Amino acid sequence: MATRSTHNKNNSAVKRILQEARELANDPSTDYVAAPLEEDIFEWHCTIRGSPDTEFEGGLYHVRILLPGEYPFRPPSIMMLTPNGRFELNTKICISFTNYHEELWQPAWGIRTAIIGLQGFFPLKGKDAVGVGAIEYPVSERKRLAALSRNWTCPHCQQPNIELLPDPPAASSDAAPAQAQPPEAAVSSAPPAIVAHVPSGPVAAHPPTPGEGRHVPAELAAMTASMTPFAPQAVVPQRQPQQQQQAVRQPQTNVLAMFDFAIATTLMLLAYFLGKKLGVL
């Protein structure tokens, strides 16, 4: 990415724009892609993905973003380049974070903020959709334009939208390896599946319903698996008393043997002296 020689890199606007360009390049999104023009960093081109579950789903729309010399203290201007049925083409759009509403703009916002906000304005209808640059096409026409927008090519970028913002990988391809796992690996894979459902909706904020009982065996299995390493320890205390009893019995046996030996020796001595006294010996 190059800048014009007339741009002073020590200028605060240039510094901010270059910083945002690096951030967008280092942290890409599957919903949009944006970059400044090589010949003018104050003009950006962006491709955004249509909102899911709307007539714009599957569509890819090319956007032109113009930054003022006082950026980020003044907001950008946004113009649509791809036919979409929601906004006029090559016309500055009137939404809350564009040059039409400078009083609402905050310097902490940036190009990413404007892009995400534009995506949120696409599916609005009725009074919320009214403004400079807004148009109202039938849903069927918007769907038709969404299908055509994928191969629409920007005259300046010379690339179709589908190449600038390819579709993300399908989720089904990631689920296939999990089904191929052996049964013994199901316990370790169950917790990630439960966690994956927590942020998806309001289920986490309410007690589980009877239909959600299927998750309990996985948790119990995980608890059982975590307790198995302690099983060998239960055998050790049972062996220690046996070893102690054997250690105690061994000294007792030695004492009895010594006691029997002493008695036998005493009897022999008594018999010897008695026989000698009687003259037998």
Looking at this protein, which amino acid is placed at residue 181?
Answer: Q
Q: How many residues does the chain have?
A: 281
Dist. CA 47–CA 82, nearest whole Å: 9
CA distances to 53, 189, 220 from 203, in Å: 21, 20, 20
| Burial class for 37, CB neighbours closer than 10 Å (0-12, 13-18, 19+) | middle
Reduced to 3 states (helix: H, G, I; strand: E, B; else coil), residue 61 is strand
Nearest residue to 50 (alpha-carbon basis) of 173, 113, 142, 112: 142
**What is the number of other CB atoms lying within 10 angstroms of the CB of residue 158?**
7
Helix H or strand E encompassing 265: helix 236-277
Nearest residue to 100 (alpha-carbon basis) of 63, 130, 136: 130
46: annotated active-site residue: no
Of the listed 46, 94, 154, 157, which one is catalytic?
Answer: 94
CA distances to 228, 263, 266 from 274, in Å: 73, 16, 12
CA distances to 75, 101, 148, 219 from 61, in Å: 21, 23, 10, 45
Dist. CA 97–CA 16, nearest whole Å: 17
Dist. CA 161–CA 158, nearest whole Å: 10
So which residues are the catalytic ones? 94
